[in-house]
Amino acid sequence: MVFILWIIYRPKTVRAHVTAVFPSVFTLTSNSTLVYNFTLHVSIQNPNRKVGLYYDDISAEAQYDSIPFGLVYKFPPFFQHKRNITVFPLVFVGRAFGLRSVQKKFEREKREGWFYVELKICTKMRLKIEFVKVGRYSPEIDCAVKLPVMANGSDVKFERSECDVDKF
């Protein structure tokens, strides 16, 4: 049954982008404390014309050099209509201690002009095909976010970035 629906409807996995970055602070202090304050907008699109998506679970966290920092966002479950786009604003503000190991990367990126922060989004979803809820998928969405170094509020250069999404 699922297989037949699959063949007929050929569901495609979601697409995701980081569409905006509002950086204000991203620094590493001399005692290896990462002090950060930035906002990201992540847009997740259901590209399917005939398939809706139930997001039973969706959470997001930021990592620097593969080290999670800041809180983990958990969003309430929601349903995404066919061909819809949902934008999640994510605010990261706080400090993380003991990040000695990121120092080299931090210094290099500071010279180069961009800090590369990884955004990891974990999902659990089901498809809605006609009136049927089918499948259980947990695609992971990985975004490489570029935080501009000089940005202190005004006139931020920003590049929209595409995220990698696992297949269904």
Ligand X SMILES: *[C@@H]1O[C@H](CO)[C@@H](O)[C@H](O)[C@H]1NC(C)=O
Q: Which residues bind ligand X (CB under 6 A)?
A: 24, 29, 31, 33, 37, 81-85, 93, 97, 150, 152-154
CB of 152 to ligand X, least distance (A): 4
Residue nearest to ligand X (CB): 81
CB of 95 to ligand X, least distance (A): 6
CB of 132 to ligand X, least distance (A): 17
Alpha-carbon gap, residue 103 to 74, rounded angstroms: 29
CB of 154 to ligand X, least distance (A): 5
Alpha-carbon gap, residue 62 to 93, rounded angstroms: 11
Residue closer to ligand X (CB basis): 23 or 58: 23
Residue closer to ligand X (CB basis): 130 or 166: 130
- Pure H helices in 56-137: 103-112
Question: How does 103-130 read in b/e, with b if 16+ C-beta sit within 10 Å?
Answer: eeebeebeeeebbebbbbbebebbbbbe
